[in-house]
Structure 1
Amino acid sequence: MRIGLLAEGGYPYATGESALWCERLVRGLGQHQFDLYALGGAGSPRPLPPNARVARPADPGSPEGNATAGSLLERTVFGAHRAARRAHGRRERRRFTDAFHQLALGLCADEGIATGSDDAFATGLYALAELARERGGLPGALRSDDAVRTLESACRAPGARRGAAAAGLPDHLAFVEHLERTLRPLSLDWYTEEALGAADLCHAAAGGTTALPGLLAKRFFGTPLLVTEYGVQLRSHYLDAAGADGSLPLRTLLAALHGRLAAEIYRQAALLTPGNAHTRRWQEKCGADRARIRIVHPGMAADRFAEVGEDEESGDPTTLVWVGRVEPAKDLVALLHAFHEIRAQQPDARLRIVAVPVREPGAGAYLTHCKGLAAQLFPDEATGAHAVGENPVAFEELGGPEAPTLEDTYASGAVVVLSSVVEGFPAGLVEAMFCARATVSTDVGAVVEIIGGTGLVVPPRNPRALADACLALLRDPERRHRLGAAARARALELFTVEQNLAAFRGIYLELLSRAPVRHRPGDGVPFAHPAEAHVPGSWAEQAVAAGTGAPDA
């Protein structure tokens, strides 16, 4: 089977959790051929197995495509369309205006008043795609004065939502710029029989813009679309828009754009595979059919944690361990206040805060704040990057001398704590479960689904409840070991790479079996030659002649 893999973040060029998952999928399903369509790819790709190739790289961040990957393309992404764009005449401009007007009406319509707004958005989207496919790319048209005027007209139309109606010229200009970036895959040269048209199945490793090429491949070629989401991209867009500096009308339009696009992708996908029930609920809220949703938990490598998980005696019985990115969403402030209460009742307790290195600008500000708070809460005991046992709180960095690996970090404590106020799929919690560690977690994201009764769960932003749960496990070794063993058994059953690959192996075959048969140029006619024609013998030539309609010799 030929799989068109639409990779978030530019796999095989990028790194990160998404790229790691794609790598495991491609290498684990070696019986299939993967064509990688790298959105955002730049530089040199990582080594690929024999069953994978980079079909088309493109950088959706630049309207000129990915110039750095030119050796992999016969032309740049947009180079072949420049002449066609210059040749756009009155008829094409009219087609663009009509299509863009439909799309804008769908975005601006108030859902409480107008009906069919999703249909108007989809109609405009596919009309723009048809125009791009026939006449060339759309970046210039989507940023043109015609687009701005059309958007303004849709915002002023009867039934437009209040936030859109209040938009001014700066909002219209900012929105069409964002819209052009979001819809840039429409202008890529992927929609041919030799590219996405050659795929038996399109598998998008994320929703939103990443899945857009697969949505159009379904439209043009009938290719089934599978969408895997291990994070809620729509939720991230909403949060980014809420925290942006733009005006309320601009944020309203941006939220409508990503909401409509997500709804259309969910509606057209043959199957959705969210990573947890939290993501599934978001998909259902956006109109996804529950019958076409199947939860497939992300696979994680369990072998590296096997030695720690099988050693029941490892771990200091008085030490709590926290591992993760130090950022406000992790709520280390609540954890430090909870530990202050724990120390009041159990003076020998220790807390290790092991930070995953982050190279983003300003990432150290929150860590500095937390260290200052720890110094205030424990004024008689210095805190810093020292070994557990010297100070009640130790701030360390993963990969350092005190926490060289994740395995060593989890092995050092008796209880692993998660104190987040926002969480998607808690990968660190699964790692702790592989290590047979009892856990105390806040009830956010997919935590309850992952834990499944093998750990203690408390409300977020509640230091007292967090402290009580930690103390209950520190004081009860038998319960701690029992919960840890149950957690390890659950993780090995549900969250391994092998489980993930087995699920997608079956899904691929299922979707292909339901897809209509497609005959491509060069495939030939099925059963044109009888099976016996391939068997050596005196009658083989007669079988070939019979199969081709030629007279017998």
Structure 2
Amino acid sequence: MRICLIAEGSYPYVNGGVSSWIHSLITEMQEHEFIIYAIGAEMKQKGKYKYTLPPNLIEVKEVFLDEYVYEDKKWGKSYKLSMEEKNNLVSLISGSKDLNWGKLFDLLSSKKFENVGQFLSSKDYFDLIEFLAEDQYSRVPFTELFWTVRSMILPLFLTIRHDIPEADLYHAVSTGYAGVIGTLAKHTYQKPLLLTEHGIYSREREEEIIKADWVKGYFKDLWINHFYTLSNSIYEASDQVITLFDRNKEIEVELGCPEEKIRIIPNGVEISNYSNLQPAVNDNVLRIGAIVRLVPIKDIKTMIQSFGLVEKELSNVELFILGPTDEDEIYYKECLQMVSASGIKRITFTGMVDVKEYLGKMDIMLLTSISEGQPLAILEGLASKKPFVVTNVGGCKELIVGGRGDTYGQAGFIASVMNYEEIASYILQLCKNKRLRETMGANGFNRVQNKYKRSSFIAGYRDLYLSVGGSATWQA
């Protein structure tokens, strides 16, 4: 079978949980051919992969959201849109449920739209914004509305304009732009479509937009509704939606995904990979580790504040932040400045490393994200028998405390998002109680060993691919 995985902002450009998940899926299923439809942020990422591509990954289709910068365009062209086409575009911009994705795809794939930037510089686009301004945004400066909507729909139009490789089955790894491409693939080829949602994409974008300085208050709702609109496209079009834990399923149903479509397949790790880790030397130092990318959604700044309080009380603690620092260089510099300004001495940013070389040496693991799915970082730490302090986001609580019918016991502490004092208090409890660390570490290990096996995760997707896509081998 030939399977097209559609990934946004992850594989193969970024290390981390979702990218590792994709890589595992491909490498474990040598019986299938895979294509990656990779949606990246900037053209400068082109060809710069963080992974060695497996031999059964036969193509990487690269699309970048800043490609419009390189298009030639002229102002003022008239596209002679029909009233139905105009109304559908207005529905897209305003987030109306009347949006017909099939007709939108047909329009944007037609010869009328040879150049995305040119349409957004056309009289037709000006007329659409003029209608919106009069109908819904009469008190908003017209120029701001014009450029805000342009920046909002430009990357969507750009991705839709690209050709999609033909495959037996399409599998989007998030909603958003990846979800729309999956919906377009099904519309174009009438092939099965799957969605796996690790975190809730539309909720994550909503959190970012609420906090963002680059979106003015009266446009925040417009942006938020836009991302919910993108997500709804694949909820409707998909044959099956896979999520990783119960709470995500509940949210998807709240957002309009039919419950009968949703199936839970948890992440998994190979326990044997963590059985012979090198322990730390017996030097009376307590080592805290965090397997994490240095990006705002992981809230490294709260982690730093928490450790600052711990360091003030204990002189024998160290924090190792294990993960790439190059994804958001501005944020990384802000974190370094925060460490320096706070006078914190014992934080090490390792950059990208083999985490197994560090895990055995850690006493406590830490995760302070403001949004998560079901973090592989937690599964790796639990497989190494390490207790955790984590924020109450995504599937973290289920991993640490257990879900319905789980009797394995507590594997750490759950703290409120951004509450650095609460996080620090839990870290201190673990630092001061070796027996508690060992008990919680053992509880987490038993939970992962029995409920989050890598073999079960792979078998779940193998069966799903065969049931939805059929067993036929791809023939060109």
Task: Flag the 1:369–1:274 CA change in 2: closer, same or farther, 3 A.
Answer: same
1:200: which partner in 2?
A: 168
1:397: which partner in 2?
A: 349
Greater relative contact order structure (CA < 8 Å, 6+ sep): 2
In the TM superposition, what are the counterparts of 1:89-488 in structure 2 within 5 Å?
93-95=80-82, 98-105=84-91, 107-108=93-94, 117-118=96-97, 120-121=98-99, 123=100, 125-135=101-111, 137=114, 139=116, 140-157=118-135, 160=136, 166=140, 168-190=142-164, 195-196=165-166, 199-242=167-210, 243-277=212-246, 279-300=248-269, 302-308=271-277, 319-323=286-290, 324-325=292-293, 329-330=299-300, 331-336=302-307, 338-339=309-310, 342-343=313-314, 349-354=316-321, 356-359=323-326, 360-374=329-343, 383=345, 394-398=346-350, 405-451=354-400, 452=402, 453-462=410-419, 465-488=422-445
1:391: which partner in 2?
A: none
1:5: which partner in 2?
A: 5
Task: Flag the 1:241–1:416 CA change in 2: closer, same or farther, 3 A.
Answer: closer
Unaligned ranges ≥5, structure 1 = 66-77, 110-116, 376-382, 384-393, 524-553
The alpha-carbon deviation at position 493 of structure 1 amounts to 3.7
Distance 1:265 1:370 in 2: 42
Q: Is the 8 A contact 1:438 1:484 kept in 2?
A: yes
Distance 1:277 1:142 in 2: 42
| Matched AA of 1:8 | E
The alpha-carbon deviation at position 397 of structure 1 amounts to 2.7
Distance 2:10 2:317 in 1: 42
Q: Is the 8 A contact 2:93 2:149 kept in 1?
A: no
| Matched AA of 1:170 | E
Q: Is the 8 A contact 1:306 1:435 kept in 2?
A: yes
- Alpha-carbon deviations, 1:310-346, whole Å to 9, x = none? x7x9876761403245667231354235415753xxx
- Alpha-carbon deviations, 1:477-521, whole Å to 9, x = none? 3443222122122223444543332221111122235x9x9xx9x
Distance 2:186 2:30 in 1: 25
TM-score calculated relative to the size of structure 2: 0.80
- Alpha-carbon deviations, 1:352-407, whole Å to 9, x = none? 343534131352232332344245xxxxxxx3xxxxxxxxxx2223269xxx7533
Q: Is the 8 A contact 2:307 2:424 kept in 1?
A: no
The alpha-carbon deviation at position 226 of structure 1 amounts to 0.7
Distance 2:81 2:391 in 1: 55
Distance 1:467 1:10 in 2: 31
Q: Is the 8 A contact 1:322 1:352 kept in 2?
A: yes
SS of 2:46's equivalent? coil
Q: Is the 8 A contact 2:5 2:37 kept in 1?
A: yes
Distance 1:51 1:422 in 2: 32
Task: Flag the 1:253–1:29 CA change in 2: closer, same or farther, 3 A.
Answer: same
Q: Is the 8 A contact 2:321 2:348 kept in 1?
A: yes
Unaligned ranges ≥5, structure 2 = 403-409
Distance 1:165 1:286 in 2: 30
Distance 2:200 2:129 in 1: 28
Distance 2:451 2:128 in 1: 50
Distance 1:314 1:305 in 2: 18
SS of 1:234's equivalent? helix
The alpha-carbon deviation at position 280 of structure 1 amounts to 3.6
Q: Is the 8 A contact 1:299 1:496 kept in 2?
A: yes
| Matched AA of 1:358 | T
Distance 2:276 2:357 in 1: 10
The alpha-carbon deviation at position 287 of structure 1 amounts to 1.0
Task: Flag the 1:35–1:2 CA change in 2: closer, same or farther, 3 A.
Answer: same
Q: Is the 8 A contact 2:366 2:390 kept in 1?
A: yes
Distance 1:57 1:473 in 2: 45
Distance 2:194 2:439 in 1: 39
Q: Is the 8 A contact 1:334 1:461 kept in 2?
A: no
Distance 2:47 2:435 in 1: 53
Distance 1:10 1:374 in 2: 34
2:406: which partner in 1?
A: none
SS of 1:93's equivalent? coil
SS of 2:66's equivalent? coil
| Matched AA of 2:67 | S
Q: Is the 8 A contact 1:318 1:474 kept in 2?
A: no
SS of 1:180's equivalent? helix
SS of 2:263's equivalent? coil
Task: Flag the 1:419–1:15 CA change in 2: closer, same or farther, 3 A.
Answer: closer
1:73: which partner in 2?
A: none
Select 1:43's aligned residue among 19, 33, 47.
Answer: 47
- Alpha-carbon deviations, 1:45-68, whole Å to 9, x = none? 776444332174433421388xxx
Task: Flag the 1:315–1:297 CA change in 2: closer, same or farther, 3 A.
Answer: farther
Distance 1:337 1:476 in 2: 20
The alpha-carbon deviation at position 25 of structure 1 amounts to 1.6
1:535: which partner in 2?
A: none
Distance 1:461 1:426 in 2: 18
- Alpha-carbon deviations, 1:261-304, whole Å to 9, x = none? 11122122112223444544443332112222223334456554
Q: Is the 8 A contact 1:275 1:298 kept in 2?
A: yes
**Bigger radius of gyration among the two:** 1
RMSD across aligned positions (CA): 3.8
SS of 1:147's equivalent? helix
| Matched AA of 1:24 | S
Distance 2:251 2:115 in 1: 31
- Alpha-carbon deviations, 1:80-101, whole Å to 9, x = none? xx9xx9xxx98x6223x63243
2:449: which partner in 1?
A: 492
Give the number of aligned pairs: 451
Select 2:57's aligned residue among 52, 57, 78.
Answer: 52
1:16 lines up with 2:15 in the alignment: yes
Distance 1:437 1:151 in 2: 55
